[in-house]
Amino acid sequence: LETVPAARPTHGPPTDEGFFYDFDVRPLTPEDLEAVRARIEEAVRRREPFVRREIPIDEARRLFRSNPHKLRYLSDVSDPNVSVYTTGSFVDLCRGPHVPDTGWLAGLHILGISAVHDGGREDGPMLQRIRGVGFPTPALRDQYLRLRQEAEARDHRGLSQRLELAMFLEEVPGFPIWLPRGMIVVRELERYVTEHLTAAGYSEVRTPLLFPQSVFETSGHWDHYRENIFLSTVDDRVFGWKPMNCPGSMLIFRSRPRSYRELPLRWAEFAPLHRREPSGTLHGLTRVREFVQDDAHLFVTEEQIEPEIRTLLDWVRNAFTTFRFEWSYELSTRPPGALGDAAQWATAEATLTRLLEEAKVPYRISPGEGAFYGPKIDIHLKDSLGRPWQTGTIQLDYQMPKRFGLEYQGADGQMHVPVVIHRTILGSWERFLGVLLEHTSGRLPPWLSPVQVRVLPIAEAHAAAAQSFLELLWSRGIRADRSESTETLPKRIRSAEIERIPYIAVSRGPGSGRRDRRSPNPAGRRARKPSGGGGS
């Protein structure tokens, strides 16, 4: 405010990665940012204190009478008093607490400026957002910036395009386009999951992409998730593009009488899902509007809940050990406005807690963060830079089966309502592959690499031998290609390394042998060979 006096502060919360503050002001320039940085350094040297005061809300309205953003916030406050903080000449609303003075922020760093819509609404006015991080010492700040630089080098958006896996167009925000090499990776990942599904007794189903409004009203999504559903009108009826697969599976179960002898029923579905995410939240492959996930719904009896979830937790361990991730769990409990009675929720939460204790994997509890129909276990990965990512989920649902009128005949001859377990282990292909690309810096496991072997003839005289070897690899089901000898061998080897191709075969002609180079981080599947889609 001292460098750009016309700026009106709106709000500035801490985030998982630092903080930001939004200002109602003209577009800021790099020169503005430099002036802000200089003022921050001065404030750190002067150790300006943060002073907290409680004031009546009427006084707060007078204090911020020239700032409509603060007045809008105050209009939603029901308490008679609010807290304000003062440092230097700056006064702002904040609950706190704060550090004692600005000297505690010797490692503060401004990351950049961006334009955002007020309140995240696409029709809201544009604000200028200043983003930053704060550390007590410059050494900790520099360590963070080195990690940030490494993260930028690993950014999956750049890797996806350089490795010709996926592309992102302004014309279709949130809808990544898979290129031929990317589709190989997607299909291999799908095959990996499908093999496990088959071994675990799953069947695959496919349900429509669109459902009428009435189906979402029955499922509860219309009341709890409508703003995230893309809508279409067909023959004067409102249809929604499904954001989840569960309503379709409910309709399949309801389509005929069921017996306890059929349970557990395990139905997997790999269908495109669509969610109307705000444009400001979209990010490459990790936050999209269209995606496919390793989704499944298990229809079980009360007695089958524990063994099924125990099996799923084992599956989580096997999957993320294969991909060399660390992982933890988050148990989310009953949210405000949840469906069903509190006693049933408490029983479900106690069951999940006991199973997590048995799994001996770190977990935390997030009160009030469960799905509207049941508690859930979210799976969090930690990548090679130590960053957390939420991927899969296991959700226990007593409510949606009741809403759809699902029943099965029990061994006692009576009708019972099944319990549904919603589960996805890897999560969406898009998000998981985005995370995996950054985790491995694009060096995918050989079984997942779109090109597993690059054949390099040393010279034109070796082209025929190189082609014969290439065709041999193809006949063994190995994904291989060939680089022509128009450039020097070192340049072609370097090109293959940049493309993250795990094996390089140099052809010197018949009988001369070949040289293989392994990926520095193969992380292969254990049960299969690298040829034909297996691991190393």
Q: Which of 69, 181, 274, 275 is catalytic?
A: 275
Pairing, β 363-366 against β 326-332: parallel
Here the tokens at position 386 are 């130590």
Fold of 453-533: Rossmann fold (3.40.50)
Residue 216 gets which letter from DSSP? H
For the cut 70, the answer to whether the pLDDT of residue 402 exceeds it is yes
Q: What is the pLDDT of residue 487?
A: 84
Q: Which of 297, 416, 431, 492 is catalytic?
A: 297
Q: Which of 70, 376, 462, 492 is catalytic?
A: 376
CA 396 from chain centre, in angstroms, equals 21
Parse the chain into domains and list their residue ranges: 8-156, 177-205+244-440, 453-533
Q: Which of 417, 229, 285 is nearest to 340 (CA)?
A: 417
- The yes-or-no answer on residue 304 being catalytic is no
pLDDT digits (tens, 9 = 90+) for 56-89: 999 999 999 999 999 998 998 888 999 999 998 8
- The yes-or-no answer on residue 206 being catalytic is no
CATH classification number, 8-156, choose in 3.30.980.10, 3.50.50.60, 3.40.50.1700, 3.40.309.10: 3.30.980.10
Residue 49 gets which letter from DSSP? B
Categorize the per-residue pLDDT at 529 as very low, low, confident or very high, splitting at 50, 70 and 90.
very low
Q: Where are the beta strands (DSSP E) in 172-235?
A: 177-178, 203-204, 210-212, 231-234
Spatial separation of the C-alpha atoms in residues 426 and 286, rounded to whole Å = 13
Q: Which of 155, 395, 428 is nearest to 297 (CA)?
A: 395
- The yes-or-no answer on residue 275 being catalytic is yes
Q: Which of 295, 378, 423, 492 is catalytic?
A: 295
Q: Which of 19-23, 200-204, 396-400 has the highest mean pLDDT?
A: 200-204
Instruction: Report which residue type is found at 271.
Output: A
Q: Which of 319, 318, 312, 281 is nearest to 298 (CA)?
A: 312
Q: Which of 154, 380, 422, 439 is catalytic?
A: 422
- The yes-or-no answer on residue 101 being catalytic is no
- The yes-or-no answer on residue 376 being catalytic is yes
- Does residue 264 have a cis peptide bond before it, meaning omega lies within 30 degrees of 0? yes
Measured from the Cβ of residue 309, the count of other Cβ atoms closer than 10 Å reads 24
SS3 call for 311: helix
Q: What is the mean pLDDT of residues 467-489?
A: 90
CATH classification number, 177-205+244-440, choose in 3.40.225.10, 3.30.9.10, 3.30.379.10, 3.30.930.10: 3.30.930.10
Q: What is the pLDDT of residue 437?
A: 97
The residues facing 506 across adjacent strands are: 456
For the cut 50, the answer to whether the pLDDT of residue 284 exceeds it is yes
Q: Which of 96-100, 117-121, 180-184, 281-285 has the highest mean pLDDT?
A: 180-184
Q: What is the pLDDT of residue 348?
A: 87
Q: Which of 32, 274, 293, 452 is catalytic?
A: 293
